[in-house]
Amino acid sequence: GAGVSQTPSNKVTEKGKYVELRCDPISGHTALYWYRQSLGQGPEFLIYFQGTGAADDSGLPNDRFFAVRPEGSVSTLKIQRTERGDSAVYLCASSLRVSTDTQYFGPGTRLTVL
């Protein structure tokens, strides 16, 4: 079956603009995760959903970042008033359940803030 997909693959925006990044998890996976990866670093956790609710949003850097998963499937990561420091690859992952299951990652969205 299809893996995790993310759109767009690349996004270039200007400082101060609003962006939305989309993630389509593997069908039937109840858990969905967002991570951010800067150049030369490992991914860093942002937020995780169990079903429709955000179970842990402790990794969101500030209140400019927000994510939703209204129907328990597709998720959107929203960034307001983008800053140059937000430039990174945003990775989405999903797993069948939580804690003990393999997380499967999408190809990522490369965000560049000019």
Interface characters, 42-81, with another protein (x: CB under 8 A): xxxx--x------xx-xx----------------------
Q: Total binding residues for another protein by CB under 8 A?
A: 28
Query: Quick one: which segment of 12-20, 21-29, 64-72, 104-112 binds another protein (CB under 8 A)?
Result: 104-112
Q: Is 12 in the site for another protein (CB under 8 A)?
A: no
Q: Is 1 in the site for another protein (CB under 8 A)?
A: no
Query: Quick one: which segment of 11-19, 20-28, 66-74, 96-104 binds another protein (CB under 8 A)?
Result: 96-104
Partner residues linked to 49 by β-bridges: 32, 54
Least separation in angstroms between residue 86's CB and another protein is 19
